[in-house]
Structure formats: structure tokens, C-alpha cells
Amino acid sequence: MIQEFTWFGNIPPEVGLLSHLKFLYVDSNQLDGSIPPEVGQLSSLVELFLFSNNLNGSVPPLGNLTHISLLYIRENSFSGFIPPVIGNLKSMSILDLSNNQFSGPIPVSFGNLANLKKLDLFYNNLSGSIPPSLGNSMLTLVGLDFNHFTSYLPHNICRGGALQYFIVSENHFQGTIPKSLRNCTSLIRVRLNGNNLTGNISEALGIYPNLTFIDLSRNNFYGEISSNWGKCPKLGTLNVSMNSITGGIPREIGNMSQLQALDLSLNHIVGEIPKELGKLNSLTKLILRGNQLTGRLPTEIGSLIELEYLDFSANRFNNSVPEILGNLLKLHYLGLSNNQFVQELPKELEKLVQLSELDASHNHFGGEIPFQICSLKSLEKLNLSHNNLFGSIPNCFEEMRGLSVIDISDNQLQGPVPNSTAFRNASVEALEGNKGLCGRCERNATMQSFLVT
């Protein structure tokens, strides 16, 4: 065994003389250069750890390493094709080539690795299709994300029923979700996001008792959100954003007691928000923007006291914003824009002392800007544009030292503009279209072009 040294420079070719060496651990050093061919002669080697160095070049023939079980060469600068001979190393159980510059396809010979449990190839320049024979292994982890793969995902990828981590995001995969995934109850984490996948999302997936994370965003999936998600008791993140999902939000989602992040944004979801969402006590992020949701916001949303990010923007919500949103004391972001909200902004929002951004633009809010908004000492960005707000701007805005961006354009505001950084730095477009703002105009030449004095 070789380990616990700080190695610099090249790997010496003399290492090939250690014919009985079983374990070579020289990871997390400052090695550079290429792997000497002599390493391929270490026929007794069982574990080879070269990760987190500055090694480069191509990987030499390793066909004589017939006993090797663990091969970690991630986080280097290796390039060229992956040697097909690796597929003959039938004792291999973990193969990690991630975070390099490998190109070309996955060798078809990888289908011979019957004992392979974990395959990590993410963050390379690999391309082509995935060998269908890869499903012959009892894989528990497949990491292929951030490459240039095309074609279809192998439909038998979970044929062995052991797959736990299936990470293939940020590629160019097309076709449908592998059929074997529907009944793959071993799954823990799935990332299919950022591909060209399609298919009916309600038919392609099943019930997963161990699943904690799934991201299906930025694909071409259609269909409705299945009520089966409510039967995934450990699920912490569900992201189906930027697809073509239709139908409503099933009330069964309220049964997902461990859910922390729910992103349904930029789809075609209709109907009202079910009140059952108020049971998601662990939720920290709820993103529903860019759908066709209607009706009132349910008051049960006020029970989600762990929320930090809440986005209802670009829907068709109407009526007033419920006062109980003031209970969401951990909110950092609140998006209400591009809806049909009416009446006044609730004064109870003053309790959101951690809020850094509030966007209530493009609605029908009326009344005056509540002076309680000045209690939001963490607020950095405020957009109240394109509403029916009238009266004067509260002077207390001058005390909001952290506010840096403001937009109050296209309202019916009048009177003096506060002398604060946000207003002094505001563009013409952020203040124009009001009834008659005035005062301190000489401090900002841009104001003189549109403010009525």
C-alpha cells in the first residue's frame, strides 16, 4: 500500500516494479503529467486512487489490472477517448472518471462489467449514445450529467432493481423515460433535467418509497401531475418546471410531509391551489410562477412558516392577498407580479423582516403605499410598478438604507420623492407614468425629464 505522502511532479515509472502492490492511494496531491504505462502492469492492484491531482493526457492501457475493483481518477485533466479495455476489467465495482476532459462515446465494452455498482462520468465532453448493455450490470449509481450525450436512455437501466442514483442532467437525451424506472422502487435521487426528453409524465413514473429528490425540469414532458407523488413519503424536492404539464395540482401532494422544495413553474397548470398544500410544514421553497392558476390564494399558505422563497407570479390569481402571509417570517423572496390582485397590499407584510425582494408589479393593487413597508429593513429590491397606487410615497423610505432597487412606475402617485439611495439611483423608467411626483428634482437630472413639479 502506498498512501499518506505528499506527492509532487510526475508519477515515477518505477512504480511499475511493485508487482505485489494492491492499494495505491495518491489522491489529493499535486501530481502532474500523465499516468506512466508501467501502472498498467500492476496486475495485483485492487484499488487505484489518483483523484484530485493535476494529471493529464490519455489513460494508458490498463488491461492487466484484472483484480482492480475501485478506480478513481476524477478531478484531473485527462483527455481523449476512454480506453475500451476498461470494459474487460470484470472485477470493477466502482469506476469514477468524472471531472475530466474525456471525449467520444462510452465504450460498448462497459456492458461486460457485470460487477459494476457505481459509474461516474459527469463533467466531461462525452457524446454519442449510452450502450444498452449498460443495463446488464447491477448498477446502484449512474452519473452522466454535464456531457453531450444524445439519443435515448437505456430502457433496462434498472433491470437489476438496484439503481439508487440516476443522474443524467444537462445533456441532449431524447425519447421517453426508461420503462424500467417506473417500477424501480430502489431510487433515491433522480436528475433528468436539461434534456429533450418527452412523454406523459403521469404514466412514465411510479411510486417510490425511498426517493428523496427528483428534477424533471427543462424537458418536453406533458400530461398531468400524478397523485402518486403523495405516496412518496421521503421526497424532499420535486421539480417539474419548464415542461408542458397540464391539469391541476393534486391535493394528494399535501401528504408529502418531508417536501422542502416544490417547483411547478412555467407549465400550463390550471385551477386553484389546493388548501392541502398548507400541510407541507417542511416546505422552504414554493414556485408556481408562469402557469394559469386562478382564484384566491388559500389562507392555509400562511401555515408554511418554514418558507423562504414564494413565487406566485404570472398566473391569474385574483382578489386580495391574504393577510396571513405576514406569518411567513423566514421569507427572503415574495413574487406576486403579473396577476389580478386587487385592494391594498396587506399591512401585515411588515412582519417579513428577512424579506430581501418583493415584486408586486402588474396587478390592480390600490390605495396608498403602506408606511409599514418601511419596517422591512432587509429589503433590497421593491417593484410596485403597473398598479393603481395613489397618494404620496412614505417619507420613511429615507430610512431604508439597504433598499437599492425600486420601481414605482405607472401608478397614480404624486408628491415628493424620498431622498434615499434607491430613488436617487432610480432610472427614468422606474419612476415615470405617475400622476405628479415632485421635489428634490435637482438632485437627479434624470428626474427632470418626466417629473411634474
Residue 445 has pLDDT above 60, yes or no: no
Taking residues 252-270, report their average pLDDT.
Answer: 97
With bands split at pLDDT 50, 70 and 90, how would you rate the model's confidence at 436?
confident
Contact between residue 413 and residue 389 where contact means Cβ atoms under 8 Å apart: yes
Q: What is the pLDDT of residue 442?
A: 46
Of residues 444 and 185, more confidence is placed in: 185
With bands split at pLDDT 50, 70 and 90, how would you rate the model's confidence at 39?
very high
Taking residues 160-175, report their average pLDDT.
Answer: 96
Q: What is the pLDDT of residue 5?
A: 63
Distance CA 339, CA 314 (A): 6
Q: What is the pLDDT of residue 175?
A: 97
With bands split at pLDDT 50, 70 and 90, how would you rate the model's confidence at 438?
confident
Percentage of residues of the chain with pLDDT beyond 90: 91
Residue 449 has pLDDT above 70, yes or no: no
pLDDT by residue (tens digit) across 76-104? 999 999 999 999 999 999 999 999 999 99
pLDDT by residue (tens digit) across 240-258? 999 999 999 999 999 999 9
Taking residues 55-75, report their average pLDDT.
Answer: 96
Residue 439 has pLDDT above 90, yes or no: no
Name the E strands within 58-140.
70-72, 77-81, 94-96, 101-104, 118-120, 125-128
Q: What is the pLDDT of residue 1?
A: 59
pLDDT by residue (tens digit) across 210-235? 999 999 999 999 999 999 999 999 99
Collect all residues with Cβ–Cβ distance below 8 Å to 102 and sequence separation of at least 6. Answer: 78, 79, 80, 81, 82, 121, 124, 125, 126
Residue 136 has pLDDT above 50, yes or no: yes
Q: What is the pLDDT of residue 2?
A: 57
With bands split at pLDDT 50, 70 and 90, how would you rate the model's confidence at 6?
confident
C-alpha cell belonging to residue 121: 462520468
Q: What is the pLDDT of residue 443?
A: 44
pLDDT by residue (tens digit) across 295-354? 999 999 999 999 999 999 999 999 999 999 999 999 999 999 999 999 999 999 999 999
CB burial readout 405-428, b (16+ within 10 A) else e: bbbbbbbebeeebbebbbbeebee
Collect all residues with Cβ–Cβ distance below 8 Å to 71 and sequence separation of at least 6. Answer: 47, 48, 62, 86, 89, 92, 94, 95, 96
Q: What is the pLDDT of residue 159?
A: 84
pLDDT by residue (tens digit) across 186-214? 999 999 999 999 999 999 999 999 999 99
Burial (CB count within 10 angstroms: exposed 0-12, middle 13-18, buried 19+), residue 448: exposed
